[in-house]
Structure 1
């Protein structure tokens, strides 16, 4: 029997954040295409994760293809899919009022949910580039009347070419301030998203790596889910900001390019 500390004897499963790890907006991060190709050839199971709930996996696959990344639709796991899976486990074939886009509405429809603004079981808040005052007001009134409040992820801002954009967490704070009700966040850093991803792969946390660019979501969620973690410095977190946190990743690299040729044992030197 192999020693549990012998990482070279393992066949690793890879969970990877998307933005800041594989791509920047619509631009490929150098080495990302080689890493995906290497994992595919070697047969290492992997999922690309994103807290962004705007797009469906099919849409995201097309977006990644345009940057030069060949990622199967089945290898993309979003906070919208995790949210739909969670709601299906809690209240199968329920009803929801959704503030979000096609990634979220499609995921909920696929598990049998009916979308309505008439006495829904849940108000579900996701990412959108077109938040409307009318939709937010409806969400507030439904939560006040007893609808359970769910949000896909707690990220307060998202990136754009011109700077930060308000994201799900910021709008959730607005609804919470108006209603006095806090949402249940399903996406990272909730380990629920990681467990649902592991179930989708049929994988175990002890044989899984989490690669991300954020200490406050990617690294902490991997750590709490019992995984080895790799922080890449191609996104949000830096070596300086990393020192602010009381926990550390298992490995720090400049980018995923440093993992090419090492996917069998990324911790080897």
Structure 2
């Protein structure tokens, strides 16, 4: 079946840190020129959709806001749909606007009815304590993602999962995960844009998030080797992508070849 939609992870696929992956701009432009619908889906919940759209633009990739998905947006959307009257303590860096835009009131106290946890590189013990006490009091525990690490220019850094795990361990509570490999973010794209999963390709650099989500949802997937996982891990592991390629540069050929079968 033809591939008509391509969903790109960002970290490790489009860029590493503040540097674009070579060929990213050209690959996206090629896909769009050939008629593919392109989306961007990151597990990163430490910034807003507007931030990620601006970052893509800085690499020459013009992405409409409606085609950019991050887990802070997903968490705000989830709360607006399922607990619109709940207050939120957001343990992330710069994402409260996503919540206020969705009609969710953010607070800085342990009386919050929901605790939303993601990557906060300015984390303090005081912040962690507020989140801990709110959860002990019965607040809903929402994690934008539980990635153990994420790629940067010179290697890797601890991910949101390091913070999520500390609260899960100390409170004995399990969070609701918004991001990959859980299906919520993909389901948002499907619902908001009418995407056919059988005609879509998920492109990512992590087997345990990007590729596993695609497998769970019956989508084809491509692992790029510019991020977390290696070709050997893909070949030996239980989570196997449909394609393993060196980088994003190879994705347009996969899409073109799908139309020739």
Q: TM-score of the superposition, structure 2-length normalised?
A: 0.92
C-alpha distance 209-162 of structure 1, shift in aligned 2 (>3 A)? closer
Q: CA deviation at 1:163?
A: 4.2
Question: 1:260 and 1:216 mapped to 2: Cα distance?
Answer: 24
Aligned to 2:71: 79
C-alpha distance 32-266 of structure 1, shift in aligned 2 (>3 A)? farther
Q: CA deviation at 1:209?
A: 0.8
Task: Report the secondary structure of 2:181's partner residue.
Answer: coil
Pairing 1:11-90 to 2, within 5 Å after superposition: 12-90=4-82
Question: 2:179 and 2:131 mapped to 1: Cα distance?
Answer: 20
Deviations 1:199-258 (A, max 9, x none): 232212111110111111111101111111111112111111113421311111111212
C-alpha distance 121-178 of structure 1, shift in aligned 2 (>3 A)? same
Gaps of at least 5 residues in structure 2 are none
Count of matched residue pairs: 260
Q: Residues 45 and 201 of structure 1 are in contact (CA less than 8 Å); yes or no, is this contact kept in structure 2?
A: no
* Aligned: 1:110 with 2:110: no
Q: Residues 251 and 267 of structure 1 are in contact (CA less than 8 Å); yes or no, is this contact kept in structure 2?
A: no
Question: 1:93 and 1:146 mapped to 2: Cα distance?
Answer: 16
Q: CA deviation at 1:262?
A: 4.9
Gaps of at least 5 residues in structure 1 are 1-6
Deviations 1:170-202 (A, max 9, x none): 111111121111211110111112111222322
Question: 1:11 and 1:251 mapped to 2: Cα distance?
Answer: 13
Q: Residues 111 and 134 of structure 2 are in contact (CA less than 8 Å); yes or no, is this contact kept in structure 1?
A: yes
Question: 1:111 and 1:140 mapped to 2: Cα distance?
Answer: 25
* Aligned: 1:211 with 2:168: no
Aligned to 2:158: 166
Q: CA deviation at 1:118?
A: 5.3
Q: Residues 28 and 67 of structure 1 are in contact (CA less than 8 Å); yes or no, is this contact kept in structure 2?
A: yes
Q: Residues 259 and 266 of structure 1 are in contact (CA less than 8 Å); yes or no, is this contact kept in structure 2?
A: no
Q: CA deviation at 1:153?
A: 0.1
Q: CA deviation at 1:268?
A: 5.7
Deviations 1:123-170 (A, max 9, x none): 111212101110100100110011111110011222334543332111
The more displaced of 135-144 and 82-91 is 82-91
Question: 2:176 and 2:260 mapped to 1: Cα distance?
Answer: 39
Question: 1:203 and 1:17 mapped to 2: Cα distance?
Answer: 17
C-alpha distance 245-268 of structure 1, shift in aligned 2 (>3 A)? farther
